[in-house]
Chains A and B, each alone.
Chain A
């Protein structure tokens, strides 16, 4: 499909040069990392930038490391790099689970985690681990650096806390020291790549503390604090989980769209919460869990 819109393209060699461009073009410049959302949106006429700033030649944005219990993911790091890096899987299995469910193999080879959270769609798989791990989004502009807690990042569908002269340089997650485990469950319509009908990220530790986040069930991905509060300090039991499921009415606000009716989203969220809690507990107990197989199908 032809691109009707004409725009300029720059590939700055330093972060400073990229920030200068962003500062002078503001909203009429868009950051180009993987381009898997961006190029499609330009083709379809939904975005009409004057300038694309390609950040893939900026070395520090490719940084991916685990230092002193902090997992740092540079803005140009792709999902495939996350999937293929052992320390990512060991440190944050929920993020690894979620990365494997984003789009298809080809798209994951180009798409970046930072680009993903900048697109900020409600069905953002990768948001659930970031929310559960209280990630911080690092933004830079010529004015300086802002470290934005992920909980403050998503403002509305496709709207984030980033300013028009900033670019995301990386994302960091604090990896808890105590014994803990997480799992991401995604419901899609078939075995291939799909946007989530519903997504649940579930984390717990050996002190029975719980962190739970969801996507595709509200205008933005969110933590389920009321459910966490109910569960904290308690051992999982069928009765406890039923009580947690009863809280879903308050916790999520699903809509009906082409991917699913809201009634199904509400119903299946209870199923996912239940199976996800047991799966996370299984992982905590050292059992092998295959999240893709937990919801049937494929």
Chain B
């Protein structure tokens, strides 16, 4: 294997000092001077209602209030994949917390005082708060005009119903597959909604200057996509919209696409010369950004007595909320992949995106796969146990391998799934069945596989600019966001490897869409792969410029020139060493005193030209909607208190096939963080709504996210490397995947320890204790 200098090394984060020292600038840190105005939202108190009137007269009297805007001022629709969303509610509100108006004032306090005085008169409509109710005949329609909504060609809405999209995948002969089965298990699994809970709440500032250009400073995973949606919704040219994305205090999918950022952008267009800031409180962060979608999954699996899966019928009903412009693509992604990392010949998947009168669902780390895998990996364990086949053996026997066909007919990419299974089994000492020394507790083990593909439009692309400075340091100008994963560092490592310049001499700044080249979004765990390919191409472009210049000036054979230690060297002449700093800006002086060359500026671009969404709407066969899958396996050992139901994770191991871990330390960090986030969703987090659609826990008092006290005693991160042929140095994404196995492996461990199968998330201590009590009775 090739020895690399910077790739595969635990390079220290290049943004570390900036963040640790407090030098890093976040959205709320930027000083806009005296012309800054503050916006506060007036939000719906009804889950579904006609807005009869809005009275702003009392609010306007509050000292410091500048202007108040409502839906009338902005009659525009927007959306990423389907235009079903409004800047402010128009005639109707569709969830509790939906923005109806905005007060713009000199201080945040004045804006908030006035917002409380805006009187909205509602005519309540029946609210649909459950996706299964929303599917029933005669259910109230959230979007009677659904047929008129523009959407991407791979969505299939059903006008006249609450179904916004229905992804159907059909492969083989389902009935035949069940007929071959010796055993069939059918059951239902439910998963509630979840919140991202990034440390930094959403914040955006819009400024529309007197020349007619809009600048938006936004805490975002998607500056270019935001620019595009702002331009589209507000009727501006792209060159006149500029999005500046400072450092982001966490995203987890919640800052992908556009949610609240469009509000200050739109308000600014009516307040020329002012900057308008909207900063969400924690409560607003819970109520009116994207949420993870809720799921009811019905699984029917047939298996032969030898342990081969003969058929899978997977029906997944998604509570997608009031607007599905982003969430419907979660539904789509899972509808293509709900076989899990298994080879199954006879498949039917129905993934149904359903409007409900709850906040909009959207991207959340895992993009639907966590929800899908909770049911599927629970089911696989049960089926194996029913057959009396070891669940690891069962998984090995059915595991998808390179060249096998996926549910939609494309070939599976190279992967190290079996190696992951073996390494996790060994790390967790699967065969060993420890017995608790504490009479109050029992010990159990759980296992789960996982897989996930990036969900992207087939033409999602990345690009990179690279420029050399006089001292051979580099500015790498790219537009992905470092949301904690270490993006900037890894991109610097890629450029460093090609150009022989250490990462510490490479600066990567947060993007500004005026100056940085196009990037689709920092989502889908695709950024290392996609942006990494663009950076690699830019670095190769720079290298070619450098070497061809040296070749031209010194008349050395091009193929003998190479870069090492920030210098051009020659394989045939060890004495030839030309430091990059001598010429990458100033050029090379020749004998006659003239200079050749000049500043080295390079560019790179990557688009997956093989990807296509042209599958058959009835079967999803044909096309190549997913670029590749990342796979892995995980297991854990838990100790459960039989009386309180409390679960303690004693040890957990997770193996992931990263293709090539460009920075193993960062991969291990993702494994730790992802597992912790996943364990929280299964052990204690969930969003609870009352019968009127109001969120009961929009705060950290009653929505619990893990603390340092909640980290498992031992975490074993395992990196497997089966190269991704089209990845930079063989890399593929791993960011989201690390949380995917957490929920099913806890459910599986609870059953292992107590003989109780819990089929709904979260699996709280209370749920376990009450289930045990019920079993005793």
Contact = CB atoms under 8 A, between A and B. Distances in A.
A263 B710 contact: no
B766 interface: yes
A296 B766 contact: no
Nearest to B62: A4
B18 interface: no
A189 B282 contact: no
Contacts of B298: none
Interface stretch (B233-241, B386-394, B642-650, B717-725): B642-650
Contact of B688 (A190, A195, A258, A267): A258
B571 interface: no
B13 to A, nearest CB: 26
A268 B644 contact: yes
B704 A297 contact: no
Interface string B632-649: 000000011101111110
A258 B696 contact: yes
Given A258-B696, A261-B770, A264-B769, A192 B707 contact: yes
Interface string B739-767: 00000000000000000000000001110
A298 interface: yes
A296 B440 contact: yes
Contacts of B688: 258
A191 B710 contact: yes
Contact of A190 (B40, B639, B684): B684
B640 A296 contact: yes
B710 A192 contact: yes
Interface residues of B, number: 43
A296 B109 contact: no
B770 A1 contact: no
A127 interface: no
B556 to A, nearest CB: 63
A298 B639 CA distance: 10
B766 A260 contact: yes
A297 B706 contact: no
Nearest to A270: B643
Contacts of A104: 707
Contact of B683 (A190, A197, A295): A190
B683 to A, nearest CB: 7
A268 B767 CA distance: 12
B55 to A, nearest CB: 19
A187 B708 CA distance: 18
Contacts of B647: 296-297
Interface in B437-468: 440-441
A271 B646 CA distance: 12
Given A189-B764, A258-B696, A267 B769 contact: yes
- Residue among B111, B702, B708 having the largest count of chain A Cβ atoms under 10 Å: B702
A19 to B, nearest CB: 30
A255 B38 CA distance: 42
Nearest to A198: B644
Nearest to B108: A2
Contacts of B38: 2
B570 to A, nearest CB: 60
By secondary structure, the B interface counts as mixed
A191 B647 CA distance: 11
B113 interface: yes
A264 B704 contact: no
Given A4-B112, A192-B709, A271-B644, A264 B770 contact: yes
A87 to B, nearest CB: 27
Interface residues of A, number: 30
Given A192-B704, A296-B644, A268 B769 contact: yes
A107 B281 CA distance: 19
A246 interface: no
A187 B109 contact: no
- Residue among B282, B680, B683, B684 having the largest count of chain A Cβ atoms under 10 Å: B684
A192 B765 contact: no
- Residue among A187, A197, A259, A271 having the largest count of chain B Cβ atoms under 10 Å: A271
A86 to B, nearest CB: 24
A194 interface: yes
A6 B109 CA distance: 9
A71 B641 CA distance: 37
A258 B702 contact: yes
B644 A190 contact: no
Nearest to B110: A4
A263 B770 contact: yes
Contacts of A89: none
B145 to A, nearest CB: 36
Interface in A1-24: 1-6
Contacts of A295: 641, 644, 646
A113 B745 CA distance: 42
A4 B113 contact: yes
B697 interface: yes
A185 to B, nearest CB: 10
A298 B111 CA distance: 43
Contacts of B707: 104, 190-193
A263 B771 CA distance: 12
B116 to A, nearest CB: 7
Given A2-B109, A259-B702, A261-B770, A296 B646 contact: yes
B706 A3 contact: no
Contacts of A187: 644
A4 B116 contact: yes
Contacts of B648: 296-298
Given A2-B109, A6-B109, A297 B646 contact: yes
B441 A296 contact: yes
B770 A194 contact: no
A51 to B, nearest CB: 17
A191 B706 CA distance: 8
Contacts of B283: 1
A297 B112 contact: no
Nearest to A103: B701
A187 B765 CA distance: 10
Interface string A243-273: 0000000000000001111011001100100
Interface in A62-93: none
Nearest to B709: A191
- Residue among B108, B680, B697, B766 having the largest count of chain A Cβ atoms under 10 Å: B766
A59 interface: no
A298 B709 contact: yes
A45 interface: yes
Nearest to B640: A296
B644 A45 contact: no
Given A4-B109, A189-B764, A268-B644, A258 B697 contact: yes
A296 B642 CA distance: 9
A298 B683 CA distance: 11
Contacts of A296: 440-441, 639-641, 643-648, 765
- Residue among B40, B282, B680, B769 having the largest count of chain A Cβ atoms under 10 Å: B769
B773 interface: yes
Given A190-B704, A190-B710, A298-B710, A271 B643 contact: yes
A2 B769 contact: no
Nearest to B282: A1
B142 to A, nearest CB: 27
Contacts of A260: 766
Contacts of B282: 1
Given A45-B116, A191-B709, A298-B710, 18 more contacts: A1-B282, A2-B40, A4-B109, A6-B109, A190-B709, A190-B710, A192-B706, A197-B766, A258-B697, A259-B702, A261-B770, A264-B770, A295-B644, A296-B440, A296-B441, A296-B640, A296-B641, A297-B641
7 contacts: A3-B112, A6-B109, A192-B706, A264-B766, A264-B770, A268-B769, A296-B645
Lowest 9 CB-CB distances: which A-B pairs, in order? A296-B641, A296-B646, A191-B709, A192-B707, A297-B646, A2-B108, A4-B112, A1-B281, A191-B710
